[in-house]
A and B are shown apart, each in its own frame.
Chain A
Amino acid sequence: MQNYSLSHLEELESEAIFIIREVAAQFQNPVLLFSGGKDSITVYHLAKKAFWPAKIPFPLMHIDTEHNFPEAITFRDQLAEKDGINMIVKSVQDSIDQGRVVEETGVNSSRNLAQITTLVDSIEELKFDACLGGARRDEEKARAKERFFSHRDEFSQWDPKNQRPELWNIFNGRCKMGEHFRVFPISNWTEMDVWQYLKKENIDIPNLYFAHEREVVNRDGVLLAKSEFLTLKEGEAYENRIVRYRTLGDMTCTGAVTSECYNLDDIIEEVAATRITERGGRFDDRRSETAMEDRKKDGYF
């Protein structure tokens, strides 16, 4: 008798596609939040699969801090052009210029918090009722308690203590005017699952994820790339290293890892052997023990 079982990647894919279709069915005006990182690229690929042979029935939106790696932006634009994507780009610089948010200053400043305002304003302006994102529960401890369908009130706030129970495969996306949902189809995926899936499906990702030579500065153990947005502290100096990125955020807060991984097979092997979590190199999470929860309550991804 044939063995009717799926591999772990097939089952995770099936779950994610189910969630994405549920969003298209339950909401009037969804959007896929796209950062150009591997997780949102994965969600985009899953969305393509979910609606084939039709096109994805909602737009993509990128909240551009303008502190991104230029390689990530090039990748975004090329993908949008190739696939004919309706890509909405909203700029944090605009929010700053309009006085909606005040830019942080100082050596460790970043636009990580500023993008919350741009995101929330854009959701209100464009009246999105569901935002699909690539967040995963294994990334961070506050995200471990996140739902697939995560309710946000009219202020885009997350109330972690009063979340809707989620059972079986039944999702409740009912909301009132002005409220919305954040939806995370790859909640149950780990970093390793994403790398394995990218390999299995032969999906293109920005070359930043592969080993390359780059000028970096070592700040408290985090390797930050040289850029116009970074101010060196006294005694710091740039050096040339062979590095790659495990996660992509702003250039100001995303650390590189020393690595000689030139392709996905190398990366899968490296991730299997590694002893530090992928967000270990993110300054934005290190600000306090509950940095992620605090930002999420305010409307962060």
Chain B
Amino acid sequence: MSYLDMTLLRFSTAGSVDDGKSTLIGRLLYDTKSIFEDQYQALEKSSNLRGEEEVNLALLTDGLKAEREQGITIDVAYRYFATPKRKFIIADTPGHIQYTRNMVTGASTANLAIVLVDARKGVLEQTKRHSFISSLLGIPHLVVCINKMDLVDYSEEVYEKIRSEFEDFGARLAINDIRFIPISALKGDNVVTRSEHTPWYGGATLLNVLENVHIGSDNNLVDCRFPVQFVVRPNTDEYHDYRGYSGRVAGGVWKVGDEVKVLPSGWNSKVKSIDTYGKSLQEAFPPMSVTITLEDDIDISRGDMLVRPNNQPEQTQDLDLMVCWFNPVALKLNGKYAIHHTSKAARCVVKKILYKVNVNNLHRDQEDKTVGMNDIARISVRTTAPLFVDRYTRNRNTGSLILIDEATNETVGAAMVLN
């Protein structure tokens, strides 16, 4: 198998200082030979300076000065490793409740989430929080690693108890693919190699799951959506009349000859060609970046969307959203914000705050409607121009948007469309 056949898997991990998350990542990197000698020596040196006996692998990802000083992870850290089958991108996020926003950020692009449970402690509030956020952000695959099995004598009974405890709670999650693996990140059991200590476990190792989980159908291949990102007009002799619409396929499989409807103008046309650098393709699918040309000359600009006449997104100025708030300044009822949705920019006003969600138990709080940093809430907004949206659960690309404070330009919220 050559590297040209490798695929890409993005996964998120979340956890706090003592549940073994850093050890697990370190183990994956180390056992797949992705930590280099000079990195390891630098870690050894830093750990020694800090008076720690063992090499602290958290120092591998906690690169910022403040993080190293305080011994905490502040931000999402991205880590990379590869096996001959796949390249992996880890979005490693801190697990404290005050870092919900980082967890949400890391989860937004992940295909899979790893949730760690300490075998001695069982399912904790934090476990539920990670799982709920993964579910809310539409991660299709969840792997529950029951860690520190070495400290409970690799007991099948402990494993089964935690598994059933999680399943009771997991029934409320919108994730169909949930797997359980008994591991010891420290000793390496069932991480990369199968453990001799768990003969009662018939499933795959963690790396095996990561390498083989089927992600081909995670993208929406049914509803054709193509947000126009940039209009290509070469104005050269050779390509004098060329007018191409560049963008990243947000849904569906596009083919040359397909009927096209342009939103918001409503004009119909057909796909004339699907171009990339110096060559034309017969079809394009998510997440390909291509340039589409049409049979007819139509006025199209950034923010417009190409769809199929018989399968259109909802065009609306009224959005029902689940928002995650990122800013120390609370969400303002009746406040105005800038909105970025696909390639379209608009403004909106917050009409209603319906309830906040307690991320630890999924309970709705209709009393306290102050939406502050790290809060998740259901709101409704009205936009200045119609947006072309799908439900987030149907399409992550056309069902997501961000809110921006127009005074500071900061990204203050991220929202998922519930319409």
Interface, chain A (partner B; CB < 8 A) = 3-15, 17-18, 21-22, 24-25, 48-55, 137-138, 140-145, 160-161, 163-172, 174-176, 187-188, 190, 192-193, 196, 200, 268, 274-277, 280, 289-290, 293-294
Contact = CB atoms under 8 A, between A and B. Distances in A.
Contact of B65 (A6, A24, A293): A293
B60 interface: yes
Interface string B272-286: 000111100000010
Contact of B326 (A137, A165, A176): A165
Interface string B387-419: 000000000110011101000011100100000
A2 B42 CA distance: 47
B178 interface: no
Contact of A4 (B82, B219, B244, B277): B219
A144 B36 contact: no
B221 interface: yes
Contacts of A166: 105, 411
Interface stretch (B150-158, B226-234, B349-357, B361-369): B226-234
B229 A11 contact: no
B402 A17 contact: no
Interface stretch (B3-11, B140-148, B164-172, B311-319): B3-11
Interface residues of B, number: 82
B7 A8 contact: yes
Contact of A14 (B64, B235, B289, B414): B289
B404 A174 contact: yes
B39 interface: yes
Q: What 5 pairs across the A-B complex have the smallest Cβ distances?
A: A141-B63, A49-B277, A54-B234, A174-B409, A167-B108
A48 B238 CA distance: 17
Nearest to B216: A5
B236 A53 contact: yes
Nearest to A141: B63
Contact of A168 (B4, B80, B229, B397): B397
A4 B39 contact: no
A290 B59 CA distance: 12
Contact of A25 (B36, B230, B414): B230
Given A9-B4, A53-B242, A163-B75, A168 B230 contact: no
Contacts of A3: 216
Interface in B1-46: 3-8, 36-39, 42, 46
B409 A293 contact: no
A289 B46 contact: yes
A223 to B, nearest CB: 15
A52 B275 contact: yes
B87 A193 contact: yes
A5 B397 contact: no
B4 A200 contact: yes
A283 B131 CA distance: 43
B402 A167 contact: yes
B79 interface: yes
A172 B278 CA distance: 30
B2 to A, nearest CB: 10
Given A54-B233, A163-B75, 11 more contacts: A7-B8, A142-B63, A144-B77, A160-B75, A167-B414, A169-B248, A172-B404, A188-B78, A200-B4, A275-B37, A290-B68
Nearest to A146: B78
A249 B104 CA distance: 37
A52 B277 contact: yes
Contact of A8 (B86, B238, B246, B396): B86
